[in-house]
Structure 1
Amino acid sequence: LTSTGNFADVNGPYSPIDTKNAILIGTIRMGFGHCRMAMAIASAARHKGLTPYWLDMMSFPDNAASKTIRQIENWYNLGSRLSQNSQWFNRVFWERITSDAGLRLSGALRDKTISQIYAPLFVNVPKGMPFVSTHPWVGHGSVAAGVEGVVTIIPDNYPLAFHLVEGSVHAVQSPSAYMGYRAFISMGEDNNLEHCLPKEEIREVGHYIDHEIVSNIEYDCSLRLARLKKGCSRRFLLTMGGAGAQVQKFADIVGASKDAIKNEKATFFINMGDHKGRWEALEAEFKKAGISYTLHDTWKESRSFIDEHREKPVFGVHVFLHENFYAAVYATNLLMRISDVMITKPSELSFYPVPKLFIQRVGRHEAWGAIRGSEIGDGTIETGSVTSMHRTLKLLIEDTDLIELYCDHIVKNYKQGIYNGAYNTVDLALELQGR
């Protein structure tokens, strides 16, 4: 992915790796969040004049690492979808699995041991090359392979020992996450821990946000406020997560806004990612409800639409679907800039500088993302019930005060450096290599 949002030619000429003016970003194409963080780091690195190299553990399809991860992802996706269709399953099983299962340090030790099978993927990492890991399995594998100066960037805002990688320096996005990991909060088997994470092994860096988003925060917020003043159709962005778990939720949101869409009071951008099957399910719901839409399924068409409507009025429901995984993820980055409100579960998108309506989480570990967003003033409280979500959605369509409030705080947060996590992570990786 280039800094302009286009995609590199994989069949193009090979260039030798530049180890002196580059950074290596290790990630997993498992869900969207870990790759989203990697894209942010790559964007910041390129802005700083570095060449970002991307190492995806899933790019080696026939080895033990990819096979293991793929099986785990299949089960995780199934659980995520079941949690959205069954309140009983969500309450009794999924909330616990997504929090307690990764909470204890004993589990992190188990993951460290299992991750020995990932080490062969990292044995040829050039010595002295800055290395950033966006997933603990990447971190464990690289450390086991002898890579030095690894930066482990931790997602979410809920301290889980699962994300700790012994032998690396950890980056977190908030003060509460810093304290939670530093003190190993609730990470002992019987809360009987006597030691803490050394302060040299953790750094609060801020939110991991792409340079092209951070550098345009004031401009994008000014366009949102101008649209509010003109009474333009309110632009909402719905983003399907990597597990594809929220088809019914999306259908309900758009269905509840049907009159507002018809009266040109609300416009919806829906990024379905690369979930063709989930789009077919949502399309069936739209047809039953009599909701018309426009489908954008080529990267060129999507880029053209976004550029055209940055300031030009837009109406209706627009669906984005891309076969290319990176286009599927990155489309959200482009769409959020032309949106007034992003409607999202409190995932890694919780940390992005766009007004947000937080809908029901998919796993307890996401709860603190909404808390973070609502407390720094760039998003709502999590609207866990259908009635509270509908009420808040109606408020955002009909009134302007919440969006004005969020834009004001986003600009204040920007000036305080809250969204500088990607830049600071790159600086940390360089620092650990003595640069």
Structure 2
Amino acid sequence: MNDKSKRIFGNEISKADYKKALRTKQKYTRKYGDDSSSDYSAKLLPNSTLNEPLGVYDIRVNEGKSNEPFDLEKGLIVGNIRMGFGHYRISIAMASAAHALGYTPYWMDLNSFSDTTCTKVIGAQNDLYSLGSRISQKSKAFNKAVWEPMNYEGFRQLSYNSSDQKNAELMAAVFKNIPKELPIIGTHVWPAQAAIHAGMQYVVNAIPDNWPMALHLAEGSVHTVQTHQAYMGYRILNGMRKKDVLKPMPADSLVYTGHYIDHELVANIKYDCEKRMARKAQNKPMRFLLTIGGAGAQRELFSAVIKHLMPYVRRRKAVIYVNVGDYRQVWDELLKETKYLDVASKTHFGNWNDTKDFAQKAIDGDVYGIHAFWHENIFEAVYCTNLLMRSADVLLTKPSELAFYPIPKLFLKRIGGHEKWGAIHSAEMGDGTLECTDIPHTLQMIDMFLGEKELLAQMCEAIQVNDSVGLYNGAYKAVELAMEMKNKG
């Protein structure tokens, strides 16, 4: 196999950058070992949360063998890592689309295997990213000098991809006993890179963001993107070596699909938008869904939003859903910061059946008050937002992976410069606000949603227009692409 750290889509990497990539791999090898000769087993187990609704099976590596065989005809791997909630959410969308199309989704989280070099390397980098994310929210100086430039320009450079490709060589061993003819969709670049290094034959690399970065390149895979801007930026590798004009990506390496959205949400877009407009017309409480993901970074902002909305909740003008994911401490801190929140809220903690029941009944029923959700299980923590989305009127979120979902959105301040392009795209598509970069502008937008009908109506109309042209069909298209690659051989 060609050394993917020396040349990226025909663009030579400098000797200095290549040596840096080698040193990075050597550093991780010294720290975590090199298990490339290991014969890791692969075991299939039903996913405790997603098997029942979506038919998902987990691939467990280095945990012995199982009697459950891989379905070589209908099976499809969704390769991911837990880094925040975003890549898991995109993976769930892919699994949902695969299930709806009649395929069997296999969940392969490279950050979940015990005693493998792969998981140790990913875990170390994930910890660093989470730490940087938290610090960036507390220190404006760090955010301006380090975090924003790294997320915006540092990850954009081909030299960064060169180092990542070297690190991915240490991740390939976990694919040892995975059938190479199974198609795989990577919802983070590392599973896609690792799959290529391991000899997997049909790899789709589902790129998550709307800001083209070399970080997301996995040469040898077919890359999918959610926006036309991302397509153009990736085709010419725009800005990925400063001002240099680079050799472009081959046309067959890049495909525009549209947004990666769950089948359950896409199939109910018209119905859910009509319910939102009916609630507004009947002056029923407007439902705001606050989702705190990843490192639990924007707690102070959410506290300000809850305080602002509480008088409206008491007057039955608003309802608040708060999903703190698997970060119970975030809810405890919100209770300390927000007077009377404990007595004003109903908690749905750790009881998945209760959460599912509430979410289902809320679609057609009336809801009042403040409802808080916490689940220790990571799949429940992430999927909870998806379930609540159908009955919510407005989603309050930073402009990351949720920027692409078919629900009216109020965008909070970003974490990382690359995220701002998610808000820009959504505002242009008409299903979300501009990014509110501070608390006063966030509260202003909340008051506009509450005080007028036009904003919600425009977004619901835009969502239905976007749906009519297939904007939200990206997950289906990514799955179909992966299976077509396999069928063509």
Which bin holds the TM-score, normalised by the shorter protein? over 0.9
Instruction: Give the structure-1-normalised TM-score.
Output: 0.96
Partner-residue secondary structure (3-state), 2:53: coil
**Map of 1:29 onto structure 2:** 82
For structure 2, list consecutive stretches of 5 or more residues without a partner in the other structure: 1-49, 61-65
Instruction: Give the structure-2-normalised TM-score.
Output: 0.86
1:91 equivalent in alignment to 2:140: no
* Superposed displacement of residue 9, structure 1: 10
**Map of 2:377 onto structure 1:** 324
**Map of 2:447 onto structure 1:** 394
Mapped contact 1:258–1:291 kept (Cα < 8 A): no
* Superposed displacement of residue 385, structure 1: 2.1
Q: How does 1:135-214 map to 2 (within 5 A)?
A: 135-188=188-241, 190-214=242-266
Mapped contact 2:59–2:108 kept (Cα < 8 A): no
**Map of 1:281 onto structure 2:** 333
Determine which of 103, 120, 127 is the counterpart of 1:67: 120
Q: How does 1:355-394 map to 2 (within 5 A)?
A: 355-394=408-447
CA deviation map 1:240-299 (0-9, x unaligned): 121210111110101111211111111100110001222221222224777621110110
* Superposed displacement of residue 7, structure 1: 8.2
Determine which of 292, 298, 304 is the counterpart of 1:240: 292
Deviates more, 1:132-141 or 1:319-328: 132-141
Partner-residue secondary structure (3-state), 1:99: helix
CA deviation map 1:291-338 (0-9, x unaligned): 621110110111111122212211111110001000000000011110
Q: How does 1:106-117 map to 2 (within 5 A)?
A: 106-117=159-170
Whole-Å separation in 2 of the counterparts to 1:84 and 1:259: 27
**Map of 2:44 onto structure 1:** none
Distance change (3 Å), C-alpha of 1:10 and 1:76:
closer
Whole-Å separation in 1 of the counterparts to 2:201 and 2:55: 32
Give the aligned residue type for 2:470: G
Determine which of 257, 274, 277 is the counterpart of 1:225: 277
Mapped contact 1:108–1:162 kept (Cα < 8 A): yes
Partner-residue secondary structure (3-state), 1:167: coil
Partner-residue secondary structure (3-state), 1:353: coil
Whole-Å separation in 2 of the counterparts to 1:282 and 1:99: 31
Distance change (3 Å), C-alpha of 1:291 and 1:187:
farther
Matched residues, number: 433
* Superposed displacement of residue 6, structure 1: 9.0
**Map of 1:41 onto structure 2:** 94
Whole-Å separation in 1 of the counterparts to 2:398 and 2:82: 19
1:2 equivalent in alignment to 2:51: yes
**Map of 1:255 onto structure 2:** 307
Partner-residue secondary structure (3-state), 1:343: strand
Distance change (3 Å), C-alpha of 1:8 and 1:217:
same
Whole-Å separation in 2 of the counterparts to 1:303 and 1:146: 40
Partner-residue secondary structure (3-state), 1:380: strand
* Superposed displacement of residue 53, structure 1: 0.8
Mapped contact 1:39–1:210 kept (Cα < 8 A): yes
Give the aligned residue type for 1:239: T
Determine which of 260, 264, 283 is the counterpart of 2:316: 264
Whole-Å separation in 1 of the counterparts to 2:178 and 2:56: 24
Mapped contact 1:240–1:246 kept (Cα < 8 A): yes
Deviates more, 1:405-414 or 1:275-284: 275-284
* Superposed displacement of residue 193, structure 1: 3.2
**Map of 2:134 onto structure 1:** 81
* Superposed displacement of residue 123, structure 1: 2.4
Whole-Å separation in 1 of the counterparts to 2:262 and 2:115: 32
Mapped contact 2:54–2:96 kept (Cα < 8 A): no
Whole-Å separation in 1 of the counterparts to 2:341 and 2:86: 31
Deviates more, 1:154-163 or 1:274-283: 274-283
* Superposed displacement of residue 389, structure 1: 1.1
Give the aligned residue type for 1:365: H
* Superposed displacement of residue 369, structure 1: 0.3
Partner-residue secondary structure (3-state), 1:152: strand
1:124 equivalent in alignment to 2:173: no
Partner-residue secondary structure (3-state), 1:209: coil
Partner-residue secondary structure (3-state), 1:310: helix
For structure 1, list consecutive stretches of 5 or more residues without a partner in the other structure: none
* Superposed displacement of residue 194, structure 1: 3.4
Partner-residue secondary structure (3-state), 2:313: helix
Whole-Å separation in 1 of the counterparts to 2:180 and 2:376: 35
Distance change (3 Å), C-alpha of 1:215 and 1:316:
same
Deviates more, 1:385-394 or 1:79-88: 79-88
1:310 equivalent in alignment to 2:363: yes
CA deviation map 1:49-104 (0-9, x unaligned): 11111111122122122122222222222221222223222222211121222111
Percent of aligned pairs with the same amino acid: 41
Mapped contact 2:335–2:341 kept (Cα < 8 A): no
Mapped contact 1:343–1:356 kept (Cα < 8 A): yes
Give the aligned residue type for 1:232: K
Whole-Å separation in 2 of the counterparts to 1:8 and 1:165: 25
Partner-residue secondary structure (3-state), 2:223: strand
Mapped contact 2:208–2:401 kept (Cα < 8 A): yes
* Superposed displacement of residue 43, structure 1: 0.6
